Structure 1
């Protein structure tokens, strides 16, 4: 069981479930009466959405590990699962089964909200994850953008399925206001995950070179890639500060939370990446950015107090 949980990256999946749950039940449900907007997802519908996204994401992790066996023997020899704890054949069956569950759940969900065409989204995401693992991740930058975009979309999809199906003339402004709010979180998730993907490329440069991945550190060198990541790390930091000064400067609780749990660790991670030299340095920065994402997700709990005051 433990190798299977590691294979599907259970911690990442729990963070995904937490993010989707808080968007639905900490942001949308408590505020819809006050702001006069509607939601399409019942509790069962939301459960189907979570099952679909988590299953497809887990399948994506599995196919990625199957394709990365040789690289992982170099990058993390003590953490190789495929061929050591779980056979490649069984892992392939798991990949197929999880994608089948995800797509079927997406089919029932799309029909339940009277948007059968939305079903295509789940097929598209499943296909892109397979193409990423087998081909696209070897193309410079493209693989990084794809993974960051899919993580971002895993948040945005809650708004797509919960808000868009019930947009009307009377509630359109409120529906799109909250959809835009979710988009802000999705954009933040994209930027942080893009940084983490670049950092992981630097961390895994030796194994990636072995399997023919054309990552930025392989093409331009580790030092150049590190400088690029440092520069890019300042973009979300600046955007968060601007967002804070424009929207939350009068909200003391939110201001303190963002300064302590978002901005401070982001500044710290930028400093650490600037001085990074060893593999452990990059791994440490990656862990800090994942912690920032967790605190970003938990900030959804604050909106009831911000928007109702």
Structure 2
């Protein structure tokens, strides 16, 4: 169990579920060619999970003091897993994940795409050692890596299978993946800032310069509220333009009930949030928003088939 806690297995399962959902509940349901076979796509998911797991491991190694204050029950380094073992696990996960990425890049005859895996692995390490101590920049880095886990599907499964005859069709599907990546980026960015408020005591003792440490939790909460209005407005525009105008009423109801409504609930609860428990609850709400948002891709596919 300690090794599962070390790699944050719940987050990895959600990441894998998201990538599987995009391919089998969306792309596979369209009449388009895909570059990877099923087992090769499984390797892509595995590579993503391994590199993400490595990121969690190295973050745990560097966060022992902070987590001892903020989340003492979640500390595993030094409690059954030594720091040296943590580094060894990190190196093994990263090398394996990047090696799979190299293999897949050659499979699709785009060897340069292997750089994506190296850059993500490097960014996660740089985040743990440096970026997380820089106000907002660390939050952006984490949100970006999640967005890339969606975009990478397009790079490896759509782009290599694109030819002149299907270019417009493939571009539209790549665009949909990009829309979801942007949504994931915004929600995760907000969540990371909320987590900074939740962890403000431990971060302060470690000399970090997060937003709530720099300007205070109250002002940070107001900034979060303003930022949250952006995805809410964009969602309303998106629902009207793509769902209502195309008579996708099932998706419309789903998006309003399971994505937009929880975001509005988040804003309302944020207005009165004070304690660490309050912000932990808000972080969990955003995690559900992200999950339900990703699940909407399956609802869209179902609704289109239902209308047909």
- Answer whether TM exceeds 0.5 for this pair: yes
> Structure 1 CA distance, aligned partners of 2:74 and 2:132?
21
> Structure 1 CA distance, aligned partners of 2:116 and 2:98?
9
> Structure 1 CA distance, aligned partners of 2:301 and 2:282?
31
Deviations 1:230-289, CA, capped at 9 Å, x for gaps? 111111111111100111112121111111111111110111112101110000010011
State whether structure 2 residue 266 is matched by structure 1 residue 269: yes
Q: Partner of 1:61 in structure 2?
A: 56
Q: Partner of 1:7 in structure 2?
A: 6
1:1-309 matches, cutoff 5 A: 2-31=1-30, 33=31, 37-249=32-244, 250-308=247-305, 309=308
Q: Which moved more, 1:75-84 or 1:14-23?
A: 75-84
TM-score (norm 1): 0.96
Deviations 1:186-217, CA, capped at 9 Å, x for gaps? 00000000001000000111111112211110
Shift of residue 56 of structure 1? 0.2
- Runs of at least 5 residues in structure 2 that lack an aligned partner in the other structure: none
Give the match's secondary structure for 2:263.
helix
TM-score (norm 2): 0.97
- 4+ residue runs of structure 1 moved beyond 3 angstroms? none
Give the match's secondary structure for 1:212.
coil
> Structure 1 CA distance, aligned partners of 2:74 and 2:47?
27
> Structure 2 CA distance, aligned partners of 1:74 and 1:251?
48
> Structure 2 CA distance, aligned partners of 1:22 and 1:77?
34
Shift of residue 304 of structure 1? 2.2
Shift of residue 85 of structure 1? 2.6
Deviations 1:32-85, CA, capped at 9 Å, x for gaps? x2xxx3210111210110111000000000000111111111111222111113
Whether the 8 Å contact between 1:38 and 1:175 is mirrored in structure 2 is: no
> Structure 2 CA distance, aligned partners of 1:153 and 1:6?
24
> Structure 1 CA distance, aligned partners of 2:73 and 2:193?
22
Whether the 8 Å contact between 1:27 and 1:301 is mirrored in structure 2 is: yes
- Runs of at least 5 residues in structure 1 that lack an aligned partner in the other structure: none
Give the match's secondary structure for 2:280.
helix
Whether the 8 Å contact between 2:248 and 2:304 is mirrored in structure 1 is: no
Whether the 8 Å contact between 1:38 and 1:171 is mirrored in structure 2 is: no
